[in-house]
Amino acid sequence: MNNIVLCGFMGCGKSTVGKNIARKSGRKFLDMDSYIEQKAGMTVSEIFEKYGEEKFRDMEHDACVELAELEGLVIASGGGAFTFKRNVEAFKGKDKIVFLDVPLGIIKNRLKNDTTRPLLQRPDRDRVMKDLYNNRYPIYHAAADIVIKGQNTPLKTAFAIIDAVNGTDVAEKPHKNA
């Protein structure tokens, strides 16, 4: 069974929705950030602090290559993972890449009290989020096999993804301004 790999911006719900997909589809859930943290023996924030973002991106790429070898998983990717071509290539063609498309306003609200995402721990957080979101949106869209709107409850979104992956619901990529 091929993997379902969720991509999208921090806070779009990859980890939350991914666990629901796993529960309902008989796949095992795996969170890429947690996988990297277990291998490194430190948190993502600690990796950023101690070694910097570039080293984190190399560890993230190793994780993508390793996880693409496995089968039957729901993988919640890190928020930045699918902005790198080499990581898209690790999964493309073998697994189903699903972009969880959530408007920035909803994401901001979901993450308003978050202190665990190092890229957002800065005074100009609002501007950084907006710039990152606008830069990354078309990249996630291009990487994905399936695009699903993720504003609904985690369970409803999970079922929409399962249906789309099973082909019972033809999920065409909407136009990026739709």
Site residues (CB under 6 A) for ligand SKM? Answer: 10, 33, 44, 78-80, 117-119
Give the Cα separation of 45 and 18 in Å (integer): 22
Query: Counting contacts by CB under 6 A, is residue 153 touching ligand ATP?
Result: yes
13 is in an annotated binding site: yes
Provide the minimum distance between the beta carbon of 169 and ligand SKM in the complex, in angstroms, as a whole number.
27
Residue 118 DSSP code = G
Q: Which does 103 bind (CB under 5 to 8 A by kind): ligand SKM, Mg ion, ligand ATP, none?
A: none
11 is in an annotated binding site: yes
18 is in an annotated binding site: no
Question: Among residues 129 and 162, whose Cβ is nearest to ligand SKM?
Answer: 129
Residue 148's closest CA among 1, 21, 2? 21
C-alpha distances in Å from residue 160, one per residue of 30, 153, 171: 19, 11, 9
The answer to whether the beta carbons of residues 90 and 38 sit under 8 Å apart is no
78 is in an annotated binding site: no
Provide the minimum distance between the beta carbon of 97 and Mg ion in the complex, in angstroms, as a whole number.
16
C-alpha distances in Å from residue 139, one per residue of 13, 84, 147: 18, 9, 12
User: In the range 20-79, which residues lie near ligand ATP by CB under 6 A?
Assistant: 33, 76, 78-79
Q: Are strands 4-7 and 96-101 parallel, antiparallel or unpaired?
A: parallel
The span of 15-23, 36-44, 48-56, 145-153 binding Mg ion (CB under 5 A) equals 15-23
Categorise residue 26: left if φ over 0, alpha if ψ from -120 to 50, beta otherwise.
left
Q: Which residues are annotated as a binding site for substrate?
A: 33, 57, 79, 136
Instruction: List, as residue ranges, the binding site for Mg(2+).
Output: 15
Site of interaction with Mg ion (CB under 5 A): 14-15, 76
